[in-house]
């Protein structure tokens, strides 16, 4: 019973000492206002979060995602070349590429790919 009480007292003393040391050490960092403020990538964190967003940037990001997904679809086609009928494989690849090129041409005509406004 004595050992349990001694261990509880020792744990209490150690935790109290650690908490006191942490509060003493942390008081130094409270003084520096710049280090304690949240880092918002150069934006003032106290200003409005409803800043204007470029729709052109959004459209370019969507195009990147679409073409990235299409590359993920195209890559397994090369692996399946030796296991499939060459006529069916070629017709599938050609139709897929035509759809990609027509989509890119359509977006180019709509001016999505132009950065200047």
Verify that 62 and 31 share a domain, yes or no: no
Q: How many CA atoms lie within 13 A of 44 on its CB side?
A: 5
Domains held by the chain: number = 2
**Domain range enclosing 18:** 2-36
Residue pair 107/63 in contact (Cβ under 8 Å)? The answer is: yes
| Cα Rg of the chain, angstroms | 31
User: What single-letter DSSP state applies at residue 39?
Assistant: P
Instruction: Tell me what pLDDT residue 36 has.
Output: 63
Residue pair 71/56 in contact (Cβ under 8 Å)? The answer is: no
Verify that 104 and 69 share a domain, yes or no: yes
pLDDT along the chain (117 residues), means of 10: 91 94 72 62 61 75 83 84 88 89 86 70
User: What single-letter DSSP state applies at residue 41?
Assistant: T
Residue 74 falls inside a structural domain: yes
Instruction: Tell me what pLDDT residue 16 has.
Output: 95
Output the CA torsion 96→100→105→108 (10° steps). 170
Instruction: Tell me what pLDDT residue 6 has.
Output: 92
Instruction: Tell me what pLDDT residue 114 has.
Output: 75
């Amino acid at each position: 019973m004595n050992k349990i009480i001694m261990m509880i007292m020792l744990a209490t003393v150690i935790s109290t000492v650690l908490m006191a040391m942490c509060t003493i050490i942390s008081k130094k960092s409270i003084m520096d206002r710049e280090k304690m403020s949240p880092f918002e990538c150069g934006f003032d964190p106290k200003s409005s979060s409803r800043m204007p967003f470029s729709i052109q940037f959004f459209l370019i990001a969507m195009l990147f995602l679409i073409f990235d997904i299409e590359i993920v679809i195209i890559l397994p086609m090369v692996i399946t070349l030796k296991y499939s009928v060459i006529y069916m494989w070629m017709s599938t690849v050609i139709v897929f590429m035509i759809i990609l090129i027509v989509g890119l041409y359509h977006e180019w005509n709509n001016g999505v790919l132009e950065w200047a406004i």
